[in-house]
Structure 1
Amino acid sequence: MVGRTLINVAIIGGGPGGLGTAIALSQLPFVQVSLYEKNPEPREAGAGISLSTNAWKVLDLLGASNGVKGGSKANTHQRNAHTGTILSVVPSPENSKADSRGAIRARRTRLQSALLSRVPEGIIRYDKKLIHLEDLANDGVRLVFHDQTETVADLVVGADGIQSEPISQIVRRTLLPNHHLSFTGTIAWRVIVPKANLAHISDITSFTSWWWGETGHVYFSDVDDDSEETPHFEITVRGYREPEIPGKTVVWGVPATNDRVESRVEKYDQRIKDAVNVVPEGAWREFAMFAGPRLDRIIGWENKVALIGDASHPLSGAFGSGATFAMEDGWILARALEYTQSLSLPVGDALEIFNTIRSPYYARMYEHLDESEERLRKAREETKSFDEFLRAKIKYFLYGDKDFIYKNDIQKVWKDYIEAVGRH
């Protein structure tokens, strides 16, 4: 591909990572980009999404930050779900001086809309479920869709996430057939309701809060700012020791009955039960959490395929910043292509740069999780009360040293790489 003036890129998946990548790549005059989304129209599963300094940095670069609003996560409370005891009150996950916008929780649909508004017309192809990938050696990658249409691309970007495995998460599965996900035992039930519906329950809508139980937790947060006429509030209930559903691999965004969710909070504080009871029948959506081992490389097929976001680091939302990671991936990939094109280098060299920058970042996340799990194991053995254990969990798992995530400046990461290359 040396010397080619036009690079044909196919992005699989229309989530935040795929959209962010489409925006970044569409700004390069030598790239022809198409995004293939399996749904027939824009669709976003889930409830709220957390955005911190790292998110604002990349959204600014993509020109999409102005369209994203949400509720502040400052003054977050950590509580014992059984007794209601306040265990900790912490400001934001990152120093507020890093970005005046701070950490927020926003509706996922709001982030999606902001990104969609920045994707040039004609790039997104809806109702295009990928069913087959084929390496054509020197002629790129052949893609076949469920409607029997097909195309050939110089570069394929797998942005189809973790939740699609194995039915439609075909990029990683084809690239790495021996890499398997496994059910973590955790299921999340999520919903967004009008904040006014919860106003009669004390200590629920005043701040973002985590209520920790022995077999799960409940999360409450604003997802709208004060400018909304009818602000909404998120409720997420998680169970840690859920049995795997027979005959199912990944359950993502399916309806769940009120009884199913209410049974998970029976032993919790009455305020939690009251809040859960406010949710109308049919509103809950269920999400089973899957994860997989770290990938040594997030590129393949002689550097014609790149994995971004959850497809490249199946951590099942461990850091609550997965959408941001995916957008950062896409922006770095665009910079790498721009750099190699300026030097008349092949596309494969750009993917090597992408892998060199992003793979170690994800390796660091896995290492952090391993260290936190070990500290938590020791705390479980050494603490004498459940509250003591929860405080240790909050310290190590939630508010350990994660500045490398929440304060990450992706533009500086790229500048540092270019300076390092220049020194050599």
Structure 2
Amino acid sequence: MTNPPTQPAISIAIIGGGPGGLGTAIALSSLPFVSVTLYEQSPEPREVGAGISIGRNAWNVLNLLGAAEGVTGGKLGFSWQRNGRTGEPLNLDSGDVAALGGGEKQQANGDEDPRYASIRARRTRLQAALLDKVPSGIIQFGKKLVEIRDPGEGGGVALAFKDGSQAHADFVIGADGIRSVVRRTIFPGHHLHVTGNTAFRVLIPLSSIAHVKDFPAVNGWWHGLNGHLYFARVDDESEPEPRLFEVTIRSYNEPITPDRTATWAIPATNEKILARTGEYDPRIQQVLRAVPEGEWREFAMVAGPCLAEITAWDKVALIGDASHPLSGAFGSGAAFAMEDGWILARALEVEYSRTSSTAIAIKNALEIFQRIRGPYYERMYDFLATREKHSQGTRKEEDADFDTIIKARIAGLGFVAGGKMDWIYKNDIEKVWNEYVAAEQAAKL
């Protein structure tokens, strides 16, 4: 039974225009009873970073959003693990590592549908594919949120922006990333901490390192004592020049200072990069020197504890990194955020048809969202805690030489191999929803 025509529409404000915010805007805009506005702090569409992994979980939700066709990149296939000083391959025997635990992942494609093979893509391409599916007039740029306030029962949510403008919505979705203003407001007791890890990222043409002799320009990691380097092609071989590849450097022991929490996508000099990579193979040094000055971007990694609740006030939801600040631990954050948005749309669609009260519909939809997505993120935190315990039990680096340390580190990746991560990288969010609906119906019998 559907609601009468007099049922009021629901006004929804999405904070943040990254993949999660855009995907959520697409999913919600398909509902005839909602009015969606997305507020993005940047003055124009942009995406920071370098490459992004698109696995089967991401393809699944991109298909549901109608945005899969526009996403192209370099196929990941098999990724090498190497001794950073010599380039010697040190792969696991299984050759099937699901995650490195630092924001970059690798996954054997095996019997995957070739249309949805795991790829590494330019972030800008994912952004563009999603932007193309967002209805016109929904996004407002130059809107940096500075305050979110609860006026009280039945009063929706009040928003204030840096430019002095204000807005009001029945329902607010915080898609504003790991440093979420929405999360800081609704959960003031939740705090991020600087991890001491820093990522330096860049995209450069593959042709720019053609002069580096015997360099294996294939996907993979080069492990050093205090960090690693990740290489991946982000363009398919069929694409025209310049075809780009990504270099991401992880430095494990950066100084932990209060100002580091604000270090995100800031320029880093070539001198700074080279000062952190002196131990690596000479071929790596040549590759790094091929990067034009001013191209590197620095990202200080921050993280926070698991949130018991990812909704608040019966009218606010957190999605993506805002809801689980794990500093890219699984390398699939965009997929998680888009999955969140799609589930919110389905839950709201169901609950709107059951009541004549928009406030109750939103409240009930948020309860569904919490039941489905809350445990999923708790499972991620539990997995990381178990993996860290496993690593502590096998790590004796202070008494070992370099080769032993690196081999032990790579061997430790076996903890996540062997298909144990299918619940993330092959997650089918539509199946998850259908199973929830079936279980709910069965409970009523």
Aligned partner of 2:23 in structure 1 is: 20
Whether the aligned pair in 1 keeps the contact of 2:9 and 2:35 (CA below 8 Å) is yes
Aligned partner of 1:99 in structure 2 is: 113
Aligned partner of 1:79 in structure 2 is: 82
Whether the aligned pair in 2 keeps the contact of 1:94 and 1:406 (CA below 8 Å) is no
1:322 aligned onto 2:336:
no
1:143 aligned onto 2:143:
no
Aligned partner of 2:103 in structure 1 is: none
Structure 1: state its 5+ residue gaps.
Answer: none
Whether the aligned pair in 2 keeps the contact of 1:73 and 1:207 (CA below 8 Å) is no
Q: What whole-Å deviation, never above 9, does each CA across 1:148-201 have from its counterpart, x for those lacking one?
A: 211111100000001xx3xxx310000000100000100010000001112233
Q: SS in structure 2 opposite 1:96?
A: coil
Whether the aligned pair in 1 keeps the contact of 2:159 and 2:168 (CA below 8 Å) is yes
Higher relative contact order (CA 8 A, sep 6+): 2
Q: SS in structure 2 opposite 1:36?
A: strand
CA distance in 2, matches of 1:342, 1:280: 56
Structure 2: state its 5+ residue gaps.
Answer: 97-105
Moved over 4 A (4+): 202-205, 397-400
Q: SS in structure 2 opposite 1:265?
A: coil
Whether the aligned pair in 2 keeps the contact of 1:9 and 1:31 (CA below 8 Å) is yes
In 2 relative to 1, CA 203–79 (structure 1 residues): closer, same or farther, beyond 3 Å?
farther
Q: What whole-Å deviation, never above 9, does each CA across 1:17-57 have from its counterpart, x for those lacking one?
A: 00000000000001100000001100111000001000000
TM-score using structure 1 length: 0.95
How many residues are matched?
418
Aligned partner of 1:406 in structure 2 is: 425
CA distance in 1, matches of 2:199, 2:243: 23
Aligned partner of 2:392 in structure 1 is: 377
Aligned partner of 1:359 in structure 2 is: 374
Q: CA deviation at 1:244?
A: 2.3
Aligned partner of 2:65 in structure 1 is: 62
Aligned partner of 1:155 in structure 2 is: 171
Q: CA deviation at 1:381?
A: 3.1
Opposite residue 203 of structure 2, the aligned amino acid is: I
Q: What whole-Å deviation, never above 9, does each CA across 1:111-166 have from its counterpart, x for those lacking one?
A: 0000000000000000011111110221100001112211111100000001xx3x
CA distance in 1, matches of 2:410, 2:28: 44
In 2 relative to 1, CA 399–283 (structure 1 residues): closer, same or farther, beyond 3 Å?
farther
Whether the aligned pair in 1 keeps the contact of 2:150 and 2:157 (CA below 8 Å) is yes
CA distance in 1, matches of 2:436, 2:112: 22
Identity of aligned pairs, percent?
Answer: 53
Whether the aligned pair in 2 keeps the contact of 1:292 and 1:314 (CA below 8 Å) is yes
Return 361-370 or 77-86, whichever deviates more: 77-86
Q: SS in structure 2 opposite 1:364?
A: helix
CA distance in 2, matches of 1:350, 1:202: 58
CA distance in 1, matches of 2:396, 2:147: 49
Opposite residue 289 of structure 1, the aligned amino acid is: M
Q: CA deviation at 1:232?
A: 0.3
Aligned partner of 1:300 in structure 2 is: 312
- How large is the RMSD of aligned CA atoms in angstroms? 1.9
Opposite residue 423 of structure 2, the aligned amino acid is: F
Q: What whole-Å deviation, never above 9, does each CA across 1:228-285 have from its counterpart, x for those lacking one?
A: 2110010011100100245342211000010101111101111211111110111100
Whether the aligned pair in 1 keeps the contact of 2:14 and 2:37 (CA below 8 Å) is yes
Whether the aligned pair in 2 keeps the contact of 1:77 and 1:209 (CA below 8 Å) is yes
1:147-226 mapped onto 2 (5 Å cutoff): 147-162=163-178, 165=179, 169-202=180-213, 204=215, 206-226=217-237
Return 56-65 or 273-282, whichever deviates more: 273-282
